[in-house]
């Protein structure tokens, strides 16, 4: 009887503790439910009265990072244009398909031998998609060629860009964007003009003249004779407001700089895409050969490298993990198109948008996305035809958290309020009081604004969000609304 009573006491104690535990859990669930209910009410109130949404369309999805549970839905299944939020899909597909250590290669090859300082044959420059190749890298490759004893090339200099197809622009890129730094042509052989890796571009530095009515001084990077500069600028008094316009004539490499610059004013930097990137790369290789004392006896043109050509010099890009930073933080469009074509080449043997986008769809299906409700037209988001619901974006951001490369992806996202451009990126001047608790990809097109990513709340919880705004008259108002929504999440 004694042991029976002791057993009853122990059993009752266990039942009491168990009941208290479940009551505590129920209290937590109830508190969380109240919290999400309050959050939803606050967001509903904001969205119902915000003037930027008059006549506009929004798709908003908010999930818990721990469970994937949707805690707020505003037209979350409506397909909208994502703008550069599409880069999230491209990054995930590239990390899955190529891997974070993947590097792009550029080769110098020859179809003849080297003897007594002569290369007895043609020199081939074979590009394999490197979006970061700089003039300094070209110079390094040429010096390595010179160190192998080459002083004279008896044949031709031939650029081989056949690693990808010869379609230079994605299907929906308007002709007016082709001349802009964000609308660069895509080739397997291209050169960047600066260390932010603006591929297939030239960078112009515009400095006021030394006296009134004189032309501004214009410097090209990299220096070249491939583009033609028409300087139609005028230096004006210091107290007047300048106005500079830089345009490349469509279908040519003629760049016209017009307008006024105040004397003693600040240097102006502008980036302009070039026409036909492979030929530009060949021009810079020829220039480097001259600068390093190597004489080319033949001609310069595009062609195909023979299968038996010997590799003399190879240059490799930084790994994909590093390339995601300019792609995601600075939103460099060309990288997205390069990644798409590379995925097509690696997986399907064809470096084209068609094959690369097929690969992307397969990867996205693997993460549970409904491909039937998504329309992909490019890898950068520059197309106004791309479509995706906000729920599919948050589903992807939730699903990838288990991947080994997830931290690489997470670190590539812009960080709100961080002044360093290579950390804050496109969020460096937004939500500056967020204490670096917001990491997200932004997007902007005419009439389109978007933001998707992760926010750490005051309670220490991580929330995944996607906000797609379309048919906006004023994108600035749209971005103000985005910031208000995200800060409500951060303060929850």
Does the pLDDT value for residue 14 go beyond 70? no
Q: Where are the alpha helices (DSSP H) in 52-109?
A: 86-97
What is d(CA 487, CA 36) in angstroms, rounded to the nearest whole number? 15
Sign of the dihedral through C-alpha 81, 185, 427, 340: positive
Question: Domains along the chain?
Answer: 39-101+320-490 (3.40.710.10), 105-168+279-315 (3.50.80.20), 201-273 (no CATH)
pLDDT band, residue 6 (cuts 50/70/90): low
Q: Which residues pair with 272 in a beta bridge?
A: 180, 202
- Please state the rounded mean pLDDT for residues 407-421: 96
331 belongs to the catalytic site:
yes
Give per-residue pLDDT as tens, 335-392.
999 999 999 999 999 999 999 999 999 999 999 999 999 999 999 999 999 999 999 9
pLDDT reported for residue 27? 45
- Residue of 276 and 52 predicted with greater confidence: 276
Of 52, 59, 273, 331, the catalytic one is 331
- Please state the rounded mean pLDDT for residues 101-115: 97
Least confident of 21-25, 236-240, 282-286, 423-427: 21-25
What tokens does 190 get? 């291209």
What tokens does 387 get? 């479509």
What is d(CA 146, CA 117) in angstroms, rounded to the nearest whole number? 9
Give per-residue pLDDT as tens, 181-214.
889 999 999 999 988 889 999 999 999 999 999 9
Length of the chain: 492
Ramachandran area for residue 304 (φ above 0: left; ψ -120 to 50: alpha; else beta): beta
- DSSP letter (8 states) at residue 210: S
pLDDT reported for residue 435? 76
User: Taking the CA of residue 93 as centre, how many other CA atoms within 13 Å lie in the half-sphere pointing to its CB?
Assistant: 32
pTM of the entire predicted model: 0.90
pLDDT reported for residue 210? 92
Distances 358 to 97, 153, 162, 362, 364 between C-alpha atoms, Å: 12, 42, 20, 6, 10
87 belongs to the catalytic site:
yes
Does the pLDDT value for residue 34 go beyond 90? no
Of 87, 100, 341, 395, the catalytic one is 87
**Using omega within 30 degrees of 0 as the cis cutoff, is the peptide bond preceding 222 cis?**
yes
Q: Which residues pair with 470 in a beta bridge?
A: 57, 448
pLDDT above 70 coverage of the chain, percent: 93
What is d(CA 331, CA 326) in angstroms, rounded to the nearest whole number? 6
Does the pLDDT value for residue 422 go beyond 50? yes
Does the pLDDT value for residue 277 go beyond 70? yes
Say which residues have a Cβ less than 8 Å from residue 338's Cβ, sequence separation at least 6.
104, 129, 131, 186, 199, 379
Question: Nearest CA to 378 among 239, 184, 218, 212?
Answer: 184
Provide the 3-class DSSP secondary structure of residue 130.
Answer: coil
Of 52, 59, 84, 434, the catalytic one is 84
The overall average pLDDT reported for the chain is 92
Say which residues have a Cβ less than 8 Å from residue 48's Cβ, sequence separation at least 6.
none
Give per-residue pLDDT as tens, 451-469.
999 999 998 999 999 999 9
pLDDT band, residue 29 (cuts 50/70/90): very low
pLDDT band, residue 22 (cuts 50/70/90): very low
Give per-residue pLDDT as tens, 123-155.
999 999 999 999 999 999 999 999 999 999 999
pLDDT reported for residue 180? 87
User: CB of 277 within 8 A of CB of 185?
Assistant: yes
pLDDT reported for residue 181? 86
Give per-residue pLDDT as tens, 224-271.
999 999 999 999 999 999 999 999 998 999 999 999 999 988 999 999
What tokens does 134 get? 């700089």
Write out the H or E segment, with its range, that includes residue 353: helix 353-366
Does the pLDDT value for residue 490 go beyond 50? yes
């Amino acid at each position: 009887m004694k042991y029976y009573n002791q057993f009853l006491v122990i059993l009752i104690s266990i039942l009491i503790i168990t009941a208290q535990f479940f009551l505590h859990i129920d209290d937590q669930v109830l508190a969380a439910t109240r919290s999400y209910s309050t959050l939803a009410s606050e967001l509903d109130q904001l969205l119902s009265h915000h003037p930027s949404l008059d006549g506009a369309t929004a798709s908003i999805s908010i999930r818990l990072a721990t469970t994937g549970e949707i805690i707020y839905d505003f037209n979350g299944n409506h397909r909208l244009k994502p703008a550069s939020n599409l880069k999230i899909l491209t990054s995930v597909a590239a990390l899955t398909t190529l891997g974070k250590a993947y590097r792009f290669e550029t080769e110098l090859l020859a179809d003849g031998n080297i003897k007594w300082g002569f290369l007895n044959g043609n020199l081939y420059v074979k590009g394999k998609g490197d979006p970061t190749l700089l003039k300094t890298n070209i110079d390094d490759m040429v010096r390595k060629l010179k160190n192998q004893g080459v002083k004279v090339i008896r044949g031709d200099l031939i650029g081989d860009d056949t690693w990808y197809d010869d379609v230079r622009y994605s299907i929906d890129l308007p002709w007016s964007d082709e001349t802009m730094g964000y609308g660069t042509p895509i080739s397997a052989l291209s050169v960047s003009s600066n260390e932010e890796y603006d591929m297939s571009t030239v960078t112009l530095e515009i400095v006021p003249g030394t006296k009134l009515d004189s032309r501004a001084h214009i410097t090209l990077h990299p220096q070249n004779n491939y583009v033609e500069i028409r300087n139609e600028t005028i230096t004006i008094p210091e107290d007047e407001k300048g106005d500079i316009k830089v345009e490349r004539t469509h279908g040519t490499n003629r760049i016209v700089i017009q307008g006024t610059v105040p004397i003693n004013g600040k240097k102006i930097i502008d980036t302009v895409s070039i026409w036909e990137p492979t030929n530009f790369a060949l021009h810079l290789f020829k220039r480097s050969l001259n600068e390093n004392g190597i004489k080319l006896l033949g001609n310069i043109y595009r062609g195909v490298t023979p299968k038996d050509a010997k590799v003399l010099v190879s240059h490799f890009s930084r790994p994909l993990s590093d390339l995601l930073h300019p792609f995601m933080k600075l939103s460099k469009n060309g990288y997205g198109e390069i990644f798409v074509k590379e995925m097509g080449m690696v997986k399907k043997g064809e470096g084209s948008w068609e094959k690369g986008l097929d690969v992307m769809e397969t990867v996205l299906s693997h993460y549970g996305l409904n491909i039937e409700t998504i329309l992909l037209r490019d890898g950068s988001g520059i197309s106004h035809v791309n479509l995706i619901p906000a729920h599919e974006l948050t589903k992807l951001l939730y699903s990838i958290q288990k991947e080994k490369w997830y931290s690489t992806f997470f670190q590539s996202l812009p960080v709100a309020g961080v002044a360093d451009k290579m950390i804050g990126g496109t969020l460096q001047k937004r939500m500056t009081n967020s204490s670096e608790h917001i990491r997200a990809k932004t997007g902007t097109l005419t009439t389109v604004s978007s933001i998707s990513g992760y926010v750490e709340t005051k309670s220490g919880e991580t929330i995944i969000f996607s906000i797609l705004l379309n048919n906006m008259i004023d994108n600035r108002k749209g971005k103000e609304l985005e910031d208000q929504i995200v800060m409500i999440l951060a303060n929850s």
